[in-house]
Amino acid sequence: MEGAGETYTITDLSRAFGVTARTLRFYEAEGLLHPVRRGRTRLYSRADRARLAWVLRGRAVGFSLAEIRELLDLYAPGEARRPQLEAALAKTVERLAALRAQRDAIDATVTELEQFAATLRSRLEGDA
């Protein structure tokens, strides 16, 4: 549960974000989260919670862990956060362009397959 200094257990974050404890430990091993330890218990800070939100959003839109790490490393509070936001925008625009190109390639392949299927159907009907 949330406690003094707004800390979260691995269970709290797992439930809040719908991820497994194993996922959180993986992100910790990758240096993306930095919980403190009390015995065997990991305690995550508000900053870890915010970082996890960034990680999951970045993964959902196809950013690599290296790209996410780069963006997280740029974080600074207040106006100093501008470089992080600019970098995130640049990566987002780049990702959008890549996805649009992939969609165009998929659309072209679908069209080609539809034409091929129509040709095959026509030949089958002609042989009947």
Domain of 118? Answer: 74-128
Mean pLDDT over 9-36 rounds to 96
Q: Is 50 helix (H, G, I), strand (E, B) or coil?
A: helix
CA torsion angle for 25, 30, 31, 32 (degrees, to 10)? -70
- Tell me how far apart the alpha carbons of residues 67 and 59 are, in angstroms, rounded to a whole number: 10
The model's confidence at residue 10, banded by pLDDT at 50, 70 and 90, is: very high
- Tell me how far apart the alpha carbons of residues 60 and 68 are, in angstroms, rounded to a whole number: 11
Higher pLDDT: 24 or 83? It is 24
Point out the domain boundary residue: 43, 65, 87. 65
Structural domain tally of the chain? 2
Give me the chain's average pLDDT, please: 91
Q: Are both 30 and 88 inside the same structural domain?
A: no
Query: pTM for the full model?
Result: 0.73
Q: Are both 90 and 121 inside the same structural domain?
A: yes
- Tell me how far apart the alpha carbons of residues 35 and 47 are, in angstroms, rounded to a whole number: 10
Point out the domain boundary residue: 65, 84, 106. 65
- Strands 41-44, 8-9: pairing kind: antiparallel
Whether residue 109 is predicted with pLDDT greater than 70 in this model: the reply is: yes
Whether residue 80 is predicted with pLDDT greater than 90 in this model: the reply is: no
